[in-house]
Every structure is written in structure tokens, then in C-alpha cells.
Amino acid sequence: MGINWDSLTFSLTPTDTMFISTSDIDGNWSVGEYLPYGDIKISPAAGVLNYGQGLFEGLKAYRTKEGKITLFRPIENAKRMAAGARRLCMPEFPEEKFLEVMIEIIKRNIDYLPPYKKGSLYLRPCLWGTGARLGVAPAPEYTFIVYASPVGPYFKEGFKPIKLKITTDFHRAAPRGTGNVKAIGNYAGGMLPAKKAKSDGFSEVIYLDAKKDLYIEEVGAANFFCIKGDTLITPPTDSVLPGITRKSVMQIAKDVFGMEVIERAVHIDDALTADEVFATGTAAVISSIGLIEYQEKEYIYNNFTVGPKTEQLYNYITGIQLKEIEDKYGWIVDVDI
Ligand code: PLP
Ligand code: COI
């Protein structure tokens, strides 16, 4: 296959097999098929193409030191996709079948699962309105599709701290909108802010709330955390995506490290005066933030090195994912090949 495991980035490497199942609007899903990865045929009048009736998920499979294969909290992805389906008037894909397909996709693409600590196999389940309809209304037919790609770090810095910029030019989501579901339509609007930030030397932007422009929401595709003393603070998920990594980190911080964990609005000043700040996500894992720019001023954290508490949390969550730390929560699904 000629994959250089040492130079993986977060980009698409097509694998052998994808999964496709279709349904009517009532959720009568077909058994589905495992097909060679490739292009699909779709109506130009499909709901997903015309009105953005689509959702996606992201989850990772890892190879442990002993050569075992793990999947991190897949049922959480199934549940989040089901919540998004309800919001976008799509049929839910059943949880047990979701898990079965994830495992089968890993097995059928096993040659693409990177070696221990060289990366992971990223699974991308999508739910789309693929039936044709001209008016703005739910499509008559739906497709659930899963493909996979070996991936490396989301940010080119890897585990080194990243630089972010608080944008006052753009918002990502509005109260009572779709910011808290993984709707495909939430992402295109973030491309221009990210492009501008990158051309100024930043990895991404941090979005503020759309109502007051005073509170941190999240990073382009990751949740935001700050640490002050022994307290871990993160914004609530009203218009922010309820990240699975976010939820896991909050639990670990409380149970394992005895931190006080608070979910509340994070004022810009709070974030700028924190001891440590980081972003979490399936793709981003835990990415330490070394610098934030706001209104042309730069704020540096922990001398631009990974903070001690951020590192502890990173080691713990990745330890669970790689079966090096006991998974007392039952978060890991073992995949037997
Ligand atoms: N926020 C956004 C907007 C995202 O796209 C993601 C990625 O999934 C996250 C946060 C982090 O969520 P998770 O930890 O479930 O991957
Ligand atoms: C993820 O972390 O899985 C994401 O979906 C982020 C992104 C690539 C949009």
C-alpha cells in the first residue's frame, strides 16, 4: 500500500471498503452493503446537496502495544448522530447496528490501521438526505454511509502547543441554532475564518458567542477548556458541540485528578488569564494552546509549553485509548480480528 506511517497527517487516504445503507423517512433501513470505497451516485435534487440535510461523525480505532485493537466510545457517536437526526428531521440509525458497522469497517480495512502510536484509523459515518425534493422539506430517502482513513495529528504541531486567534469577525453558531449538532452545514462557514487565521500564522480561530461577543464558544472543530488553579472550566453546549472527548476529559479531571469541573460561560478575560488552555476533539485529542491572540494582543500560556495538568489529562485519556491505563468507565470497545 506504500503508506508512510511516520508522516501521517489528518488527510484522506482512501481504504478498501465502505458501508452503505438506505432508508425511507420512517427509518426502515436496508441491511446495507460493504462495497469497495468509491464514488456514489446521487440525485442533483438530494436534500443533502440542496438544503444541507446531513450529519457526520468522527471516531477513532487504535492499535495497542500488544497489537490489540480498540475503539473509543462509539455508542456516544451513535447517540449524538441520533440526536442530530431528530433535529434535522432524518431517521435515526439504530445504535446496535451502528456499532456492528464500525467494527466491521475496521476489520475490512485493517491493513490501514496504523501501528501503535503512529496514528489511528478514523471512521467517518455520515447520514444524508439523498432523496430528491424541490421544496424545503425532509427528503423522502436517506443514506447512512461509513468510510475510513488512517490519520495522524489534526494540527501540524502534533502535541506541541498551538496558536489560536479569537475572531471578532465571524460566529460559528447562534443560540437555538444547530451549533450543538454535528450538522454538515456548520462547517463550510468556518473555512474562511480558518483560512484567514492560517495565513496570519495561527492554527485555527476561537469563536465567541453570537449574542454578546464576550464568551468563548469553541475552536473550529474542537471544544475549549481552561484551567485555573485546580479548576477546569468549559463552556456549556447550548450552541457548542457536545464533544465526546470533552465529556471524557471532564470525568477524568474530576474522578482521577480531583479537579473541580465547572461548565459555565467562559468570559474572554477568564480565558486570557487562565493558567492552561487546551482544545479537545476526536481529531484534535487534547491540543495544548500556547498562545491566544485577541484584539492584536498576544497572551502566552505556560511559556508556550504544554501545561502540567493538560499533560496529565492527555496521558490519561490516551492511556485508556491504548489500554495502558485501566478503563474503569467501560469506554473502550475491543475489536477482535
Ligand atoms: N466541536 C466541533 C465543532 C467539532 O466538530 C468536534 C469534532 O467532533 C468537537 C467539538 C469535538 O467533539 P468530539 O470530542 O466528540 O470529537
Ligand atoms: C472530529 O474531531 O472527529 C471532527 O469531526 C473534527 C473535524 C475533522 C471536523
Share the mean pLDDT of the chain.
Answer: 97
The number of the ligand 2 atom at minimal distance from the alpha carbon of 10 is 8
Task: Examine the pLDDT at 2 and tell me if it is beyond 90.
Answer: no
Q: Is the CB of 243 under 6 A from ligand 1?
A: yes
Dump pLDDT digits (tens) for 120-163: 999 999 999 999 999 999 999 999 999 999 999 998 888 899 99
- Read off the pTM: 0.98
The number of the ligand 2 atom at minimal distance from the alpha carbon of 60 is 3
Percent of the chain residues topping a pLDDT of 70: 100
Q: Is the CB of 280 under 6 A from ligand 1?
A: yes
Task: Give the pLDDT of residue 93.
Answer: 98
Ligand 2 midpoint to CA 10 (Å): 10
The pLDDT confidence band at residue 9, using thresholds 50, 70 and 90, is very high
Give the integer Cα–Cα distance in Å for 73 and 102: 11
Task: Examine the pLDDT at 1 and tell me if it is beyond 80.
Answer: no
- Sign of the four-CA dihedral 198, 274, 172, 119: positive
- Domain segments of the chain as ranges: 5-151, 162-321
User: Quick check: do 5-151 and 162-321 share a fold?
Assistant: no
Residue 72, CB half-sphere, CA atoms under 13 Å: how many?
Answer: 28
In contact, 235 and 206? CB cutoff 8 Å = no
Q: Of 3.20.10.10, 2.70.70.10, 3.40.50.300, 3.90.1150.10, which CATH number belongs to 162-321?
A: 3.20.10.10
Best mutation site among 154, 187, 286 for ligand 2, i.e. most ligand atoms within 8 A of its Cβ?
Answer: 154
Work out the average pLDDT over 51-79.
98
CATH code given to domain 5-151: 3.30.470.10
Q: What are phi and psi of 13, to 5 degrees?
A: -115, 110
Residue whose CA is at the smallest distance from ligand 2 atom 7: 221
Q: Is the CB of 180 under 6 A from ligand 1?
A: no
Work out the average pLDDT over 66-83.
98
Q: Is the CB of 283 under 6 A from ligand 2?
A: yes
In contact, 156 and 37? CB cutoff 8 Å = no
Work out the average pLDDT over 311-336.
98
Strand partners, 151: 120
The number of the ligand 1 atom at minimal distance from the alpha carbon of 241 is 1
Residues that are catalytic: 182
Task: Give the pLDDT of residue 45.
Answer: 98
Ligand 1 midpoint to CA 235 (Å): 13
Ligand 2 midpoint to CA 88 (Å): 19
Q: Is the CB of 77 under 6 A from ligand 2?
A: no
